[in-house]
A and B are shown apart, each in its own frame.
Chain A
Amino acid sequence: MVAIAVLAATAAGSLWGSDDLWPFAPFRMYATATRLDGHVLKAGFRGVTASGEELHIPAGWLGLRPAEVEGQLTRDKRLPGDRLADLAASWNEQHPSDEQLVLLELRLIGSRLEEGRPVEDIDRAVQTWEAQ
């Protein structure tokens, strides 16, 4: 009975479920198609510190994987609410004053594809937080 229940729950999750149902979530990693003439983008950040230093901040420096940031983006590719400001505040709590951020920019970084081959680099800002 346990075996059948586990298999049935996994099957149901795969056919009708969403990530919310983990451990019976669908196996979605790399399950979506990517257009041969589309874009491959990955979330990253750029920051400016109180001392004026510019930093390229991989999502991991903020405690997240790029896919976790992407998983929270809205349709217009922005983090909803105050989440970008919260990420900056969280960074500032963990760093000394001269390394604290006065600006944090969410960027999408990757490549443009032509016939399935990367032909052009992309690096564009999609959302900015600035200290008041």
Chain B
Amino acid sequence: MRAGTATRSLPQRWQEYWFEPAPIRRLDAFARVIFVVVGLHVMVIDAWAAAHDRVAASMYRPVLLARLLSLPAPTPTTMAWLRVLTVVACVVALWRRAPRFTSGLVLAGSTVWLLWAFSYGKVDHDRLTITIALLALTLTPRRGQDVESKTGWALRLVQVGFAFAYVFSAIVKLRTAGWGWANSAVFTRAIVRRGTPLGDVLLDVPGLLRIGQWAFLCFELAAVIILVRNRWTRALAIAGVIALHTFTYATIEISFLPHTVCLLAFFPLERIGDRWAEWRDQRRPPAATSEAEDPNGVVA
């Protein structure tokens, strides 16, 4: 007998939410995108972090985890080795063989990379979600008992980390500046520092920027609705996330890619592979198929 929502206890519903079965191929597709993004960041996008290898050592201010690991400041040699090893780990992990081990290697490389990136006086907050994703991949097997439930858990952890990043971001704004944040000139500051042509136009309309700040803060506080399983509510929240990040990129050229890519954890990515297979089958010449099926090569 199927238990209705009303008859299930809270622990049961909690369990069902966290361990909702998901196809392994969905996590495989998600993992591959994550590894590509990590590799791109280490080799191309984070050129500023790689440049730390030539900074005066006295500027190195290791964060707590770097101090606990006794991680010294990077040198050109150690930085080059880390980049090469991390990218090799990303490439190997794409095959999804020994997935926990290879994901763990990427997690380790990425963590050291970020510790070196963030130990010079500035910590970015767009890397937590991808770090959570790598942790989830490191802990999730591809075979064995309940593997689809464990796959569902990994994707859910990424989804929850993604959603709460906005909520925690709003909480820190309120903790640091209170509701006055939304009436301040914070968007103006962001645009003056890293403006784009669109951002520069908006500098002349500070009232509009303040409306944008209120919308931004309210959305961050409400972003947790992306976690509900109602299809339309979730679609609305995803549209809001896309709008928010499009606006941010258009005005200050920050993509938050290591965070925004984790939005893919909400999508049935395995269907891309299905569509690709269907498309490939349709393009295959029918004669070739018939010949393959007919050992005598006689086409009916």
Q: Which residues of A contact B (CB under 8 A)?
A: 2-3, 6-7, 10-11, 14-15, 19-36, 38, 40, 42, 60, 62-72, 81-83, 86-87, 89-90, 94, 110-111, 113, 115-118
Q: Which of A22, A27, A86 contacts B118 (CB 8 A)?
A: A22
Report if A10-B188 is in contact (Cβ < 8 Å); known contacts: A27-B168, A71-B122, A83-B59: no
Q: Are B59 and A64 in contact (CB under 8 A)?
A: yes
Judge whether B125 is part of the interface by a CB distance below 8 angstroms. yes
Bound CA–CA A26/B54 (angstroms)? 28
Judge whether B173 is part of the interface by a CB distance below 8 angstroms. yes
Bound CA–CA A25/B58 (angstroms)? 23
Q: Which residues of B contact A (CB under 8 A)?
A: 18, 48, 51-59, 61, 63-65, 111, 114-115, 118, 120-128, 131-132, 135, 139, 153, 156-157, 160-161, 164-165, 168-169, 171-173, 175-178, 180-181, 183-186, 188-190, 192-193, 203-204, 206-207, 209-210
Q: How would you classify the secondary structure of chain B's contact residues: helix, strand, loop or mixed? A: helix
Report if A60-B121 is in contact (Cβ < 8 Å); known contacts: A3-B153, A27-B168, A35-B185: no
CB within 8 Å: A-B pair count: 178
Please name all residues of chain B whose beta carbon is closer than 8 Å to the beta carbon of A6 when the two chains form the complex.
132, 135, 157, 161
Please name all residues of chain A whose beta carbon is closer than 8 Å to the beta carbon of B125 when the two chains form the complex.
25-29
Q: Are A26 and B55 in contact (CB under 8 A)?
A: no
Q: Are B172 and A86 in contact (CB under 8 A)?
A: no
Report if A60-B58 is in contact (Cβ < 8 Å); known contacts: A6-B132, A19-B118, A33-B184: no
Q: Are A117 and B168 in contact (CB under 8 A)?
A: no
Report if A87-B59 is in contact (Cβ < 8 Å); known contacts: A6-B161, A117-B203: yes
